[in-house]
Structure 1
Amino acid sequence: THMGNWDKVRDHFRSEKKDHALEVLYAIIHGRGPGEPGEMEVNVEDMSKIYAFKRLQHLACPAHQDLFKIEMDASQTQLLFMVGDTVISQSKIQDILNTSDNVVVESMSREERQLFLQICEVIGATITWHPELLQGSVSTLRKEVTGNAQIKEAVYGMMRPAEAPDHQLV
């Protein structure tokens, strides 16, 4: 019998996690849950999308988790959400950074791309688990994100290697 792409993707998940994984996958692709009202083109917040995809990766069987990747396209204008070699969703970098299409985003090194994704994942987790932060100011959200020691260390390791990682980010 012929297996469709969804059947192949579904086989990557632990049997007890398959239904939850498909709900998360549906939300990533369509921007909403299967039972929620809305239109097909409603987008989820891109930061939350990155976090949701990382959660989806952790629902997969350990042997298949490395098949779930977030990569930048060759021109570094989009993030590609991939399972194996199949792109299941994508997000424009300008949308993630909340800039206009006219803004040119400088090319990033491998380390910068990894750090960018890590920061997006932390912001997505923060937004998901603490939506009340969105009611406050941007500086409140920034404090929450920069309070992450791993990100702080990575930023200072790349940008200012001579400075101690406990330096206050502004």
Structure 2
Amino acid sequence: TRMGSWDKLQDHFRSERKDHALEVLYSIIHGQGRGEPGEMEVNIEDMGKIYAFKKLQHLACPAHQDLFKIKMDASQTQFLFMVGDTVISQSRIQDILNLSDNVVVESMNSEEKQLFLQICEIIGSNIAWHPELLQASVSTLRKEVTSNVQIKEAVYGLVRPAEAPDHQFV
């Protein structure tokens, strides 16, 4: 019989952690379902996915932890979540940063990629353990941006240059 992807993957985990690894893997692959990017929203799902993948890596047997890698694709538009040579999930950089499709993200060198991943992992960790802090910060930021025309114009000029600054924040 042919082994499925999960059957192959679960051999990398300690027996007492296989159930937990399956739950984490499921959340990485299926996420929480996300609609269109909202104005001034923080994409917690993709940052949480980076944190969850690192958590999954630590659940693996020490001898297999090096098989778990997050790599950028050749065009530097997506992060690929890989176990060995198998891509189990991916996240668009523009979704992680919540940028419109019109914004071009500059190429990163290897140190910048590593730093970006570390930042996303730390933010994902904080989101997982303290979601109330994120909501308070997002709410405060949204109020500040929408109440000050200069800030609102600067934000749109930087993040969404193709859209008008008088566009309503959701």
Name the SS for the 2:122 alignment partner: helix
Give the distance between the partners of 1:125 and 1:45, measured in 2 at CA: 12
Instruction: Please report how far the alpha carbon of residue 9 of structure 1 lies from its aligned counterpart in structure 2 after TM superposition.
Output: 0.2
| Distance in 2 separating the partners of 1:58 and 1:137 | 30
1:129 aligns with 2:96: no
- Measured in 2, the distance between the counterparts of 1:103 and 1:92 equals 13
Deviations 1:66-119 (A, max 9, x none): 000000000000000000000000000000011001110000000000000000
TM-score by structure 2 length?
A: 0.74
TM-score by length of 1: 0.74
Structure 1 residue identity aligned to 2:123? I
Q: How does 1:8-23 map to 2 (within 5 A)?
A: 8-23=8-23
Deviation of residue 134 (structure 1)?
Answer: 1.9
Q: Could you say which residue in structure 1 is the equivalent of 2:46?
A: 46
Question: 1:67/1:140 Cα in 2 relative to 1: closer, same or farther (>3 Å)?
Answer: farther
Quick one: distance in 1 between partners of 2:5 and 2:62?
20
Q: Partners in 1 of 2:51 and 2:7 — Cα distance?
A: 23
Q: How many residues align?
A: 132
Counterparts of 2:106 and 2:140, CA distance in 1: 27
State the distance in 2 between where 1:5 and 1:139 align: 41
- Residue type of the partner of 2:90? Q
Cα distance change, pair 31–110 in 1 and its aligned pair in 2 (3 A): same
In 2 relative to 1, CA 59–9 (structure 1 residues): closer, same or farther, beyond 3 Å?
same
Could you say which residue in structure 2 is the equivalent of 1:59?
Answer: 59
**What SS does structure 1 have at the residue aligned with 2:74?**
coil
RMSD of aligned C-alpha atoms? 1.8
CA distance in structure 2 between the aligned counterparts of 1:13 and 1:60, rounded to whole angstroms = 4
SS in 2 for 1:136: helix
- Contact 1:133–1:140 (CA under 8 A) maintained in structure 2: no
Structure 1 segments of 4 or more deviating over 6 A?
Answer: none
Percent identity of equivalent pairs:
82
Q: Tell me the distance in 2 between the aligned counterparts of 1:111 and 1:31.
A: 28
Q: What secondary structure does 1:82 align onto?
A: strand
C-alpha distance in 2, partners of 1:140/1:115?
A: 26
Q: Which has the larger radius of gyration?
A: 2
Amino acid aligned to 2:87? V
CA distance in 1, matches of 2:116, 2:71: 11
Q: Match for 1:63: what amino acid? A: A
User: 2:89 matched to 1:94?
Assistant: no
Which 5+ residue runs of structure 2 have no aligned equivalent?
35-43, 142-170
1 or 2 for the larger relative contact order (CA 8 Å, sep ≥6)? 2
For structure 1, the residue ranges without an aligned partner over 5 or more in a row are 33-41, 142-170
Equivalent position SS for 1:137: helix
